[in-house]
Chain A
């Protein structure tokens, strides 16, 4: 048990160190973009004003309000102090909305879209990979390669094709958004129906892209396990083939959990393009508007969330593995 604790202690230290570096980069990098977003907010409230000293004064007020008149390191500590209290500041591009308010509206859409899509894609991919390894034939020669082909599409290509086929040609799916633009979110049947029909294209585009990669991983793991020595030995002990196949797929599945955890961790960043192409109002879209609007506070907050999710996913993975896979546990104890 001792080696165990030491292992996790070391791991957590490393994760904390990574988090610190990432937080600094998340803060600094957006602010290195050229341009002055404060000036553009100031200019909005100065519409029509031509007096130069008045302009100067208002600009200075905004700069002081956002703290952009201070040195970068000072800004960082102020931001960090506030962030630790849950205050992520005000958005530049959607001024005067709070960043936390914008995120709170966007995150549920992202989770509702991507979590099920990634899990469904992962499950289907693993089932397909297992079937391809065990039954071979058409699954191995045609179905899996087809999904690998589809999976290698860039997300925007996939979205464009789907929009073209289902929205423009067949006219069975809407082109953009999460619900009809003329509706207000309520629990009404019309609204729910609209949400479901808007859900289909972004959902299936993510599922389709996920299947191939997970499938090919599962296939090679399963083939490796099917040829393992324990398969032959178990057979000669009289154990039934279907039971042995159970051992094989369990063992092949365990490393695949890495794939799932990584997709979940990177889901926001990884599938941002899908959200953008379908104008889905999740974190991906929010990030896009933050980048185009030079919205440092919003951008830093988005990247911070992504960083934390990736780190949590990795750490969780490590801990879960230690529990469910004795092969990994044995390594961790060394």
Chain B
């Protein structure tokens, strides 16, 4: 049974237009769900509605089958880690972690036990007496996590909890969080606008743009089967190459060469061909014309940027091959890895029985 269910959720601030539109999602017990989307797309807003910090304009929010729309935050029994930590500056680390327990009048002995255990798990034991101002970013981060973990709950909401950390610490914390999730097996919703974070951590990724769900799926699905142009461009170290197709008497063409189209479902039409950089190859003799504009060497690979028939195209190549900027060559496409889209709807167009 789904532990969190959002049905037809809308959100409006004042008399502005909808910030969230027709949001539908159900989350299973123990899942690690990542909300991914550009800044301002409404990730925090949804999280805050689930938490009860923001009212729901219309729609239904159910947790464990019970309608939550009018239940105040403090009765929802959900733990949340805030984007900017929101540590209480006047309390020691111990008291910050213990706050939620104290508020619920937990016996002192129990508080001490629980806080000690959590602090141990998060390597915070040496800092229990310190005030937040004397902690590093990573330590504050862990206190904020500890504050959520000490609570007796099985739902965690985390709003970009790693965004303020440096790259190295972020990687370590990512692993720790995943590990933690395995140990606690609590349902977690994790918000981020960093796709690496999303791809490495999530069981399920929810991609949002402008208040609407673009796609829900596993990291593999999101990467290999983008449902629309937004996802295709948003996901991946390099955005997907999108080639505009033209129609003439010979059929559909790109750069004056006829492209063989599959037969599409339900008589739909495709006018954009999408293909990832790793599914293209450069060639000196055949393919579509390609003029190299820029070479990006990454050690293990190199990305060759170029212009083909007025479009920007990126091709991944092995590091041993040498190319030069300005070179006029060709590129080819692995036909099995093509994604077809319709420009007007922005949607993916599926070939029949494939």
A binds B: no
